[in-house]
Structure 1
Amino acid sequence: MFRVDRTQNRLSRLVQKRFSDLNLRERDHLQEWLANQPDALGEELLIIQKEFDGFDATRERLDLLALDKDGNLVIIENKLDDSGRDVTWQALKYTAYVSPLKTTDIVAIYQQYLDRYCGGGNAVEQICEFMEVEDLSEVVLNPGNDQRMIFIAANFRREVTATVLWLLSRGIQAQCFKVTPFMLGDELIIDVQQIIPTPEAADFMIGMSSKENEEKATQDTQKKRHKLRYDFWEAALEQLRAEGVEIYRNISPARNHWLSAGSGVRSCPYQMIFSRDEARVELNFGRADAVENKWLFDQLYGEKDQIEAAFGAELTWRRMDANKQSLIVYASPFDGYNRDIWPEIITWLVDHIRKLEATFREPLARLNHQLRNHDEDGN
């Protein structure tokens, strides 16, 4: 690895090091880095426990336990300068140990992690946010035998790489990441590279999985729900356009449980929500700066009586002090997955998103003007 000196138009070689030379330890350093930055492994992962030892009849500990975006459990085994000979055997044992875990078990494990390492939080809410679902019942956590293994080390022994390749050929998801420390003066730089399967070969290795696994994936319940939501939004958008609701004029149907449209304030969209139990409309304050979100919410809350009078009903005001975002919501219960009542739900959504937009149009424009003036003044 090299540093580019652009003024001299020259390369400077970074000094490759061993973890042991730098007095870096697996648990105190590498594990902590990955626990706090799991996307260093090339994907979004939710770390739900570290040093997990919740196995029956054994006190063995796996390094990190995570969820991926498909709800699969991911066993992450960290080594430093040498993978050792037995890391695949360790990971296979841990994978077998966690394979029976149910959704309630996973929630409890993650709640313990939040309470111990993150100062608390709601495990169910955070898993739903990570999985991008409205309700935890919409996904299956730890389905079937789809657990995954990730191995991390500076160097891998042949017996480890051979075993991982064999597991991949049998449709078992496993990856090896080579992690290398470099020094640039006093600065420590870590290079993380996936070596098995290589990114170029990943699709080929996936294609080697069994026909049975492929058929199972195509029949997954989550995909059915995605199709159902897409069909719903397609019908809803058709009616919105027919009734002249302009904010959704250029929006396309999606598989998510929400559909957003601009409010005129950056990152504060109007949203229609379609779930199994209810439909709702809301104004979502989701700007990058939490202070700005709370300021916008508080300014509008100061006009609560006038706003609710204009809307024609009481709204639910969710400041959510522990989160970055805030919401203003109006909801109604519906059996959302009953296609026979979709016309009724869509009519309700069209009526109330129109009211919501009309109610907040002037207050939002006024507050947006204040925000822009604040930014221009640099205060």
Structure 2
Amino acid sequence: MTGERVLIVREGMPANAEETNLGALGLRERQDLQQWILKDPSLLEDGLLIITEEYDQWSAPAGTPVRDRLDLLALDEGGRLVVIELKRAKASTEAHLQAINYAAMVSRVTEDDLARMYARFLSRRGESVSGEDALQRLEQHCDGELDPLLLKQPRIMLVAGAFPTQVTAAAVWLNDMGVDLKLVQFRVWRAEQPAPDQPASAVLTLSTLYPVPGLEDFTIRPARAEKAEAAHRASQRSMGPRAVHKIIDNGLIPVDTPLTFRPYGGNGLVPEGALKAWLDEDPKRGRAVWVEDRNEPLKWEFEPGQYSPTSLAKEIFERVSGVRPGNLNGPRFWIDEEGRDLVEIAGSQADGG
């Protein structure tokens, strides 16, 4: 227990809440805590898409089944897999080791593996989809494409009522070494009964224990090159869905607004002259209109079809060079008539614009 107090305001007066645990309230890890997260993954983090639960279909190189059971596997908006391990009470001193084992196994999965996992997960929840449709949903969640490098660098998230010193110390060191491990602590409080004939109410709080929110740059040292590249790619990719969702949620771009492709940041993906020549050959190649779609908000004027900002930018570069880029900050390539790109338009809401 910590020194934090939780009070519930009733009839203008605060009433004390006593800290307790899930077991004392008759709540369980799999049937309750896990189901809450399945229904609302944002309890842990915004932008998580659950791919599967209770997954145990692993096998050793010789084909021998490995019956370790992963609680939850998710995909974040940056395109990284997230191994989520849940503990109803205090985590064991070896909880991080179990999660690392799962992350190692998850790092070997392919796009097709993920599509099959997700399709089976949806089927168990009453929604029948093909593997192809499941893969498309996964791609749409992270701005149009799954990046093989990011899939090899899964994140780890431990969720528990408390963490022993061994786990918190390991989390700090593993993050220093480039392993993205996040500790989420939940606490349960039981409020005093408002009246003798009324049941006591319970309060659940969740907080990121590590990395300390807002202090990641100070508490996590720079990782090795490949880890840093994965983190950079994930950060860039997550900007796409976030910008699109913010624009749609706040009505910042009217439907059918024209947008223009603008080569951004001296990317060096193709010779500037070749790109300009290809765009000038038919002005429609560099134009799109905004549509009300959270996954594919751009309708290309050059050919029928809808795209995410990143996938259409990649399509244009591939048409010019014959090679599809692996990593782009797509929203930066599309500007309105005032010259604002999608990231700037999305940020205008926070700036009061």
Q: TM-score when scaled to structure 1?
A: 0.58
The higher relative CO (CA closer than 8 Å, separation ≥ 6) is in 2
Match among 299, 302, 319 for residue 273 of structure 1: 299
Q: What residue in structure 2 maps to residue 337 of structure 1?
A: 318
Q: What residue in structure 2 maps to residue 130 of structure 1?
A: 141
Match among 2, 18, 28 for residue 7 of structure 2: 2
Q: What residue in structure 2 maps to residue 248 of structure 1?
A: 257
- Aligned positions of 1:219-238 closer than 5 A: none
Q: What residue in structure 2 maps to residue 91 of structure 1?
A: 99
Contact residue 279 and residue 336 of structure 1 kept, 8 A: no
Contact residue 274 and residue 336 of structure 1 kept, 8 A: no
Q: CA deviation at 1:128?
A: 3.1
- Aligned positions of 1:276-355 closer than 5 A: 278-280=303-305, 337-339=318-320
Q: In 2, distance between residues paired with 1:102 and 1:30?
A: 29
1:143 matched to 2:150: yes
Q: Please provide the CA RMSD for this pair.
A: 3.5
Contact residue 178 and residue 194 of structure 1 kept, 8 A: yes
Contact residue 291 and residue 297 of structure 2 kept, 8 A: yes
211-220 or 167-176, larger mean C-alpha shift: 211-220
Q: What residue in structure 1 maps to residue 349 of structure 2?
A: none
Runs of 5+ in structure 2 lacking a partner? 1-5, 194-199, 241-254, 265-286, 308-314, 323-353
Q: CA deviation at 1:132?
A: 3.4
Match among 17, 21, 25 for residue 18 of structure 1: 21
Q: In 1, distance between residues paired with 2:221 and 2:173?
A: 14
Q: What residue in structure 1 maps to residue 290 of structure 2?
A: 260
**Which of the pair is proportionally richer in helix?**
1
State the one-letter code of the partner of 2:9.
V
Runs of 5+ in structure 1 lacking a partner? 227-245, 283-333, 342-379
- Summarize deviations over 1:273-298 as a string: whole Å, max 9, x none: 249x954479xxxxxxxxxxxxxxxx
Q: In 2, distance between residues paired with 1:39 and 1:69?
A: 12
Contact residue 299 and residue 306 of structure 2 kept, 8 A: yes
- Aligned positions of 1:36-115 closer than 5 A: 36-56=39-59, 57=64, 58-115=66-123
Q: CA deviation at 1:154?
A: 0.8
Q: Which of the two has higher C-alpha Rg?
A: 1
Q: What residue in structure 2 maps to residue 192 of structure 1?
A: 206
State the one-letter code of the partner of 2:204.
I
Q: What residue in structure 2 maps to residue 316 of structure 1?
A: none
CA distance change for structure 1 residues 150 and 4 in 2, over 3 Å: closer, same or farther? same
Q: In 2, distance between residues paired with 1:80 and 1:91?
A: 15
CA distance change for structure 1 residues 183 and 218 in 2, over 3 Å: closer, same or farther? closer
1:214 matched to 2:228: yes
SS of equivalent to 2:92: coil
Contact residue 73 and residue 142 of structure 1 kept, 8 A: no
1:153 matched to 2:167: no
Q: In 2, distance between residues paired with 1:163 and 1:281?
A: 45
Q: TM-score when scaled to structure 2?
A: 0.62
SS of equivalent to 2:58: coil
CA distance change for structure 1 residues 105 and 207 in 2, over 3 Å: closer, same or farther? same
Q: Count how many residue pairs are aligned between Structure 1 and Structure 2.
A: 254
